[in-house]
Structure formats: C-alpha cells, structure tokens
Amino acid sequence: MPPITASLIIKAQLLQLLVVPHYFLLFVNDLPAWMKNNTKMFADDTKIWSKISSDTDSYLLQEDLDNIQQWSQMCLLKLHPEKCKVMHIGHSYQTAYSIEDSGSLTTLQRTDEEKDLGVYTTSDFNPSTQCNKAVNKAMSVLRMVNRAFRGLDKDDFLVIYKTFIRPHLEYCVQSLNPRFSKDEEVLEKVQKRVTKCVKGMKGKKYLDRLYTSWD
C-alpha cells in the first residue's frame, strides 16, 4: 500500500508541473478580447500597436491601456508599468500614455531601441543596430574558439563555425534584411576574420581564402 501512495504523490507533482503553465495561458488567453487595437502575445509579454493619424487614434490606444489595467485587477495579475515602453515609428504626434498603478498614474517611458526575442528594433527600422550586435556576439565566440583551439583543419573549423558562430549572424535574417553597404561590410568582417583561423589560410589574401573549396 505505501508504494502506491508514493506513486500517486509523484504523479500528482508531475501533473501540477504540467498544468500550471496551462492555467497561466487560460488566464491571459482572453486579453486580446479587451483590446480594440492590434495585439500580439508571447508568454507574458504583450504588444499593442496602432496607426496614429488623429487624436482619436491616440485616445483609443490609451483606452486599451486602461482596459489592460482593469483586466489585470480582475485576474489578480499585477502589472509593472515601469517595464512598459512606447515606441513611436514614423509619426510626429506628441502623444503620451499612462497606466494606473496603486492609485497613481505612471507615464510610460519612450524608447527608440528595444530588444525583443533576440532582435533589436529601432524607431526608424534601421537594421544597423542588430547587425552590429550580431557581429559583436559572433566575434566574442570567435575569440573563445581561438583561445581553445589552435591549428584547426578545414573540417573541424566548419563544424565549429556552423555550430557556434554563424547562427549569430543568421538569426532572424529574414526580418533583419540588411540593406546598407555598411551593414553588409560589418557582417562580412566576421567572415574575413574566421577564414584566417583555418590551418594554412592565414597568409593568403581574403579572396583566395574565400574561393577555396570548403566542401
């Protein structure tokens, strides 16, 4: 009899671990129904966006923020207005938005650059920031590889490069879409550097290294 009880306890604990995230999704699943503007949700992050062409559009966006506050009180899920930010893209309207917190209004801070799901988005949609950040990460990994390995042959180098370095440059490249020559050059800087890491390649010119068979 005791072994059966222990088994039931373990199953109950596992069930609890699996059910808790689903409870959270059930709580937040109806949030878009409270909104009048477009809404996107991922985990516990929510984004609202609207085209602001007049004061009415701004009022509707503020109304959505008020609805979020009412929804959070009803669901007993506390908001953190200090973590909420506003990004203005392509308009010059002097708008400000606020959320009520503990009886006082908190004005949302304005931002021109924000990291979301690993991608840096700017108010002018300039991809240069994301390109520079990606290159810095790739270069950092490359320096660690150089400290750990010496005299890599072509096969070993390709495994390390494709696994640890290139993913930083290719992450969300579909949305990144570098369109400036300076962005292409800064990304290619990594390729110029990594091709020198292969045994026998360091003394060759970049084009000679580039046109070497890497298969």
Any alpha helices (H) in 97-127, and if so which ranges?
A: none
Report pLDDT for 10.
Answer: 38
Half-sphere exposure of 118 (CA within 13 A, CB side): 11
3-state SS track over 39-56: EEEECCEEEEECCCCCHH
Q: What is the pLDDT of residue 137?
A: 92
106 with 96: CB under 8 angstroms? no
Q: What is the pLDDT of residue 21?
A: 60
Q: What is the pLDDT along the chain (215 residues), one digit of tens a residue?
A: 434 334 333 333 333 444 456 666 777 778 888 888 888 888 778 888 888 888 888 899 899 889 888 888 887 778 888 888 888 887 767 788 888 877 788 888 888 888 888 888 888 888 888 889 999 999 999 899 888 887 778 888 888 888 998 888 888 877 767 778 888 888 888 888 888 888 877 778 878 777 775 65
Q: Are the beta carbons of 108 and 81 closer than 8 angstroms? A: yes
Q: Which residues of 181-199 are buried (b: 16+ CB within 10 A; e: fewer)?
A: eebeebbeebbebbbebbe
DSSP 1-38: -HHHHHHHHHHHHHHHHHHHHHHHHHHHTTGGGG-SSE
Closest to 48 in 3D by CA, of 36, 57, 56, 59: 36
The pLDDT value given to residue 215: 57
Angle ∠(173,175,179) on CA atoms, nearest 5:
75
